[in-house]
């Protein structure tokens, strides 16, 4: 198992990606090698840290130099046409050349999608790739797609997204009979636009899909379905609304219930118990736990991390890449699409 990481990608670059890679290697002995792609002068000093050099970790890290970085503000078309000596391109190419099994990047989404399509192409039968994100729910893992790659979608394309989502659910969670819902403005039959209604008809007729009706935005996190499909415009807004709500609750709870270790007046058993419960709540709704969106439909594995990720967030994205390899996502995707 080998992973290629765009070490320069995202808002925080090597200050996040390199420590995250070191931590994941310490926790997972099955990873043979991580390729850190980027500026050697910035990467190597972090690898000389005692946490890395005092163990066998350093021998499992290979640095691949790349002179340039894709900035978050760069035009994806310009990146695709003019800038091939970037850490993002080199990390993706390492997978294309067979040096790694998956690429993880927190960089410019448009550039990542464009470069990945250019280098990998689509799997047989795929019309367009989709970005699939994991949602925190009350019951089980749930996956939402598309969350940004395709603003306008036909019913046929949404139907294919449903099938691709099922392959991901099976690969990551071992779920061979996932429940599929369509995101819409109501749960009654016909409560959708033309594309959604067409997709619903196709899903109902598809014996390979366990279609379970429509779902409204207010039930996204109820955990009543394994896969929820929609177009990228709706999905991106829905995902970021969920993330923003989680951040709002986390900040509000921190303001109302300050932790006892920072409050001299909160030293009672009651406050200690309250702190423990609040801490558990904040952990459960922390978006970092669910970071790492899968770019589905490509000929190789790509995981997109949030651009503003901190170390814990990026570790989750790396670990999702490991799960995708373990679950043989590409093989399951091909089998699902060929049924």
pLDDT in tens, the chain (339 residues): 999 999 999 899 999 999 999 999 998 989 999 999 999 999 999 988 756 665 688 889 999 999 889 888 888 888 888 777 899 999 999 999 999 999 999 999 999 999 999 999 999 999 999 999 998 888 888 999 999 999 999 999 999 999 999 999 999 999 888 999 999 998 888 888 999 999 999 999 999 999 999 999 999 988 889 999 999 999 999 999 988 888 888 888 878 876 654 444 444 444 455 577 777 777 777 777 889 999 999 999 999 999 888 999 999 999 999 999 999 999 999 998 887
| Residue 202 belongs to some domain of the structure | yes
Specify whether 114 is located in the same domain as 149. Answer: no
> Domain holding 271: CATH number?
3.40.718.10
Long-range interactions of 73-81: CB distance < 8 A, separation 24+ = 73/108, 74/108, 74/111, 76/108, 76/110, 76/111, 76/113, 76/114, 77/114, 79/108, 79/111, 79/114, 79/115, 80/111, 80/114, 80/115, 80/118
Distance CA 252, CA 24 (A): 31
| Count of domains observed in the chain | 2
Residue 113 to residues 73, 76, 103, 118, 242, Cα–Cα distance (Å): 15, 9, 12, 9, 23
Specify whether 51 is located in the same domain as 75. Answer: yes
| Residue 247 belongs to some domain of the structure | yes
Specify whether 80 is located in the same domain as 55. Answer: yes
Specify whether 220 is located in the same domain as 272. Answer: yes
Specify whether 250 is located in the same domain as 316. Answer: no
Contact partners, residue 287, CB within 8 Å, separation at least 6: 136, 243, 246, 247, 306, 313
Measured on CA atoms in the order 146, 150, 6, 336, is the torsion positive or negative?
positive
Specify whether 139 is located in the same domain as 262. Answer: yes
| Residue 337 belongs to some domain of the structure | no
Measured on CA atoms in the order 21, 25, 27, 32, is the torsion positive or negative?
positive
| Residue 339 belongs to some domain of the structure | no
| Residue 272 belongs to some domain of the structure | yes
| Residue 113 belongs to some domain of the structure | yes
CB-based contact 152:127 (threshold 8 Å): no
Task: Write the secondary structure of 203-244 as one string of H (helix), E (strand) and C (coil).
Answer: HHHCCCCEEEEEECHHHCCCCCCCEEECCHHHHHHHHHHHHH
H-helix segments, 4-148 = 14-27, 40-47, 50-53, 76-82, 87-96, 109-120
Specify whether 150 is located in the same domain as 259. Answer: yes
Distance CA 271, CA 267 (A): 7
The pLDDT, as a whole number, for residue 107 is: 92
Specify whether 175 is located in the same domain as 310. Answer: no
Specify whether 34 is located in the same domain as 180. Answer: no
The pLDDT, as a whole number, for residue 50 is: 57
Tokens of 145: 């797609």
Question: Global pTM?
Answer: 0.90
The pLDDT, as a whole number, for residue 250 is: 82
Distance CA 287, CA 324 (A): 19
| Residue 336 belongs to some domain of the structure | no
| Residue 234 belongs to some domain of the structure | yes
Q: Domain of 231?
A: 132-289
Specify whether 164 is located in the same domain as 185. Answer: yes
C-alpha distance across the termini of the chain, in Å: 28
């Amino acid at each position: 198992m080998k992973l290629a990481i765009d070490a320069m990608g995202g808002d925080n670059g090597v200050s996040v990606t390199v420590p995250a890679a070191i931590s994941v290697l310490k926790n997972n002995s099955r990873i043979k090698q991580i390729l850190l792609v980027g500026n050697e002068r910035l990467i190597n000093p972090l690898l000389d840290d005692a946490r890395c050099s005092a163990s066998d970790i350093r021998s499992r890290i290979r640095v691949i130099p790349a002179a340039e970085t894709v900035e978050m503000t760069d035009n994806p078309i310009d990146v695709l046409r003019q800038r091939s000596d970037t850490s993002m391109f080199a990390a993706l190419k390492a997978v294309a050349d067979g040096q790694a099994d998956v690429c993880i990047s927190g960089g410019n989404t448009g550039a990542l999608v464009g470069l990945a399509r250019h280098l990998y192409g689509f799997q047989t039968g795929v019309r367009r790739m989709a970005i699939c994100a994991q949602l925190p729910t009350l019951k089980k893992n749930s996956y939402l797609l598309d969350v940004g790659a395709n603003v306008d979608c036909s019913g046929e394309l949404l139907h294919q997204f449903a099938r691709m989502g099922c392959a991901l659910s099976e690969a990551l969670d071992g779920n061979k009979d996932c429940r599929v819902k369509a995101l819409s403005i109501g749960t009654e039959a016909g409560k959708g636009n033309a594309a959604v209604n067409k997709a619903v008809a196709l899903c109902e007729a598809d014996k390979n899909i366990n279609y379970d009706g429509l779902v409204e935005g207010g039930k996204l996190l109820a955990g009543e379905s394994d896969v929820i499909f929609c177009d990228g415009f709706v999905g991106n807004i829905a995902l970021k609304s969920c993330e923003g709500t989680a951040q709002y609750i986390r900040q509000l709870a921190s303001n109302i219930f300050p932790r006892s270790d920072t409050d001299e007046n909160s030293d009672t058993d009651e406050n200690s118990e309250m702190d423990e419960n609040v801490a558990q709540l904040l952990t459960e709704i922390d978006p970092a736990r669910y970071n790492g969106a899968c770019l589905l439909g490509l000929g190789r594995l790509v995981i997109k991390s949030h651009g503003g990720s901190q170390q814990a967030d990026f570790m989750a994205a790396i670990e999702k890449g490991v799960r995708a390899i373990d679950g043989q996502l590409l093989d399951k995707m091909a089998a699902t699409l060929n049924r």
